[in-house]
A and B are shown apart, each in its own frame.
Chain A
């Protein structure tokens, strides 16, 4: 049996983490291939329904990362995201999603090393947790809700 390769999707802001991940590349720091980035203007833009959508589409783990507190390019987007995350994590249990499957972090444009660390540690965590197989249930639930 081949080793489980988790599918991880990263929602990052354009100004800090996307640039930080660019720096990881420029510094040629290696990390696992499992994580793929989607660029958002700001973490404040990230509708957390997209996180559920990702699990519904077969993601095993998610990274959400933006600017450090007070460093937001748009002043307060990251605070909105943080508040949303605090609310959202309470709902995950109810939906049957392990909180550990979502890594919420801050990576600045100067933290190339940190980005590689976060990717690698998230991949390890998700590897330990195993594949996320409840997604069909969640997706089915969302579909039913949408049809009502």
Chain B
């Protein structure tokens, strides 16, 4: 006989403001099989959980329905409470009265009625729940980190230092990411490479880190604790064991006029190249699309000059399969190309550049060796105009969100310029100054007060060239509200930070959620900011949303600690909500007829054959059998089964049917 306990939560006022909770509890109490029903202000609080535990013990409950928030929020909390009171945790279900009812409807009779309907539905379901037991699976204590920017570097170092193996995969020839391109960093103005490159070297030398550069994730299968990743190692056309990084090939390569990605097109590189002098690993790759030998079949200069004979023109992409227990995604961000804003003249005038290009101009390792010079004629600019929010906070043509880092780096750019060109004048057109962060506001003040950067609150309407000058037309919306015109030598656009172009495809390969901007979604915006919806996959850095370096590093360490927690046990428990093929007494054994439609539908190859034999060992029936280690519980097989012989625990045919009937039938 069912003895169900129903617990309705007020969630402070979140539910009780629009739902008559007392009446829901009362109506639930009238349902057949409900032995106990009550409501309370905060069910998830300690007294709330104690109330559930006591009710289970005192009333001998064999099922619990908690009507509160989304099960995605507190299902583990309440299942644990049930377990502590001696009830099987899978005998607890949650009715979502907050996200699916009280928050989306106004206070009315219909809202309360809906809450009652939802509770009744789950009461009918829980009556059919069966005690289930978690599945123990071994954990592969190797982490896969995707992306070798500062986020990936930090996460790798933390996990590796805790004693676990790490495989760091980077798509470019060197790790370092965007941070290696930056000149100085706000708000301390310490040199980006000076603080980054030691970390890069540490990664290369760490005994627990295996670095795979010029490689990308091809496929990810499996689940938490036991993923199988396939990595495509793109052909570098060199033998890495033989190459000693002497650099002769890169100096002798005759194809020298390729715009360097690292220098954002402001400098040139050769076809066989190392992206930048401090690259890790410091070994070249051949860019096949620009190499004369690959394109025209002639040249091979690098092969001739290489002292160790390390050039391999016949090298092919290699697919490597790896067993990993957890994945950290740290693929970073990209800069929106401001070509969608013709009024700024980017692409038309050489001296209109992006913020990232300015970083390269200001960097000591950059194409101008740190001198601020115009890309067009190499002159030192006397006046620079910086345009903040060039694409950010612009729902019409750019992105609606704030890119977060631009206010700070624009202040930094103006400051660096003033430090290098003392007589120069800098102007910043801005919408708002968003300088929330430790020492950030002070930094912006310093730019204004000490370095005399002119902040103009207003937008730029047009940039055009006249007599070798860039005329910037804008408006000053403060005090005067007058049009402003500045004759500038250079214009720097703080273009929006956007998701990487490959982010969507990567998310689909890994089955993690992503938002409408293609940034990866965290499992919970506040309480699970580094987890994804897919267990065992974590996020670090700007692949989730635009972030500055301190925030990225913190999140990377957060993700690393989640991986380390996962690796702290040899086995982990998995929800037993998996498919099972029924069994019955002889002579039927199972209603399964062995058509194996289920096996063809299963995305995990989790369904195999089982031979049922008689006492003489003769095979009398062949039926399907689910491998509980592989089954992920999607239930596709259940919908396919013609004889209804396979069913999924926790979402069984009987339970779903009971839910449908209960939901639709009320007086």
Contact = CB atoms under 8 A, between A and B. Distances in A.
Contacts of A131: none
A75 B72 CA distance: 21
A57 interface: yes
Most chain B Cβ neighbours within 10 Å, of A28, A29, A39, A84: A39
B485 interface: no
Nearest to A5: B110
Interface string A38-76: 111110111110100110011100000000001111111
Interface string A2-32: 0001010100000110110110111011110
Classify chain B's interface size.
Answer: 35 or more
A36 interface: yes
Given A36-B117, A38-B121, A25 B513 contact: no
Interface residues of A, number: 51
Contacts of B100: 21-22, 25, 36-37
Given A57-B661, A80-B601, A25 B104 contact: yes
Contacts, number: 145
A108 B521 CA distance: 11
Interface in B125-163: none
A97 interface: no
A94 B210 CA distance: 61
Nearest to B601: A80
Interface string A83-112: 010000000000000000000000011110
B563 interface: no
Interface string B47-58: 000000000000
A10 B635 CA distance: 18
B656 A76 contact: no
Interface in B516-536: 516, 521, 525, 533-534
Interface string B495-529: 00000000000011001011110000100010000
A5 B98 CA distance: 22
Contact of A26 (B99, B511, B660, B664): B99
Contacts of B99: 21-22, 24-26
Given A37-B96, A37-B100, A45-B636, 20 more contacts: A5-B110, A7-B664, A19-B513, A26-B99, A28-B104, A30-B106, A38-B121, A38-B660, A41-B635, A45-B634, A47-B653, A57-B665, A59-B664, A71-B508, A74-B604, A74-B636, A77-B603, A77-B634, A77-B636, A80-B601
Interface of B: 70-72, 96, 98-100, 103-106, 108, 110-111, 113-114, 117-118, 121, 507-508, 511, 513-516, 521, 525, 533-534, 577, 601, 603-604, 632-636, 638-640, 648, 651, 653, 656-657, 659-661, 663-665
Interface of A: 5, 7, 9, 15-16, 18-19, 21-22, 24-26, 28-31, 33, 36-42, 44-48, 50, 53-54, 57-59, 70-77, 80-81, 84, 108-111, 116
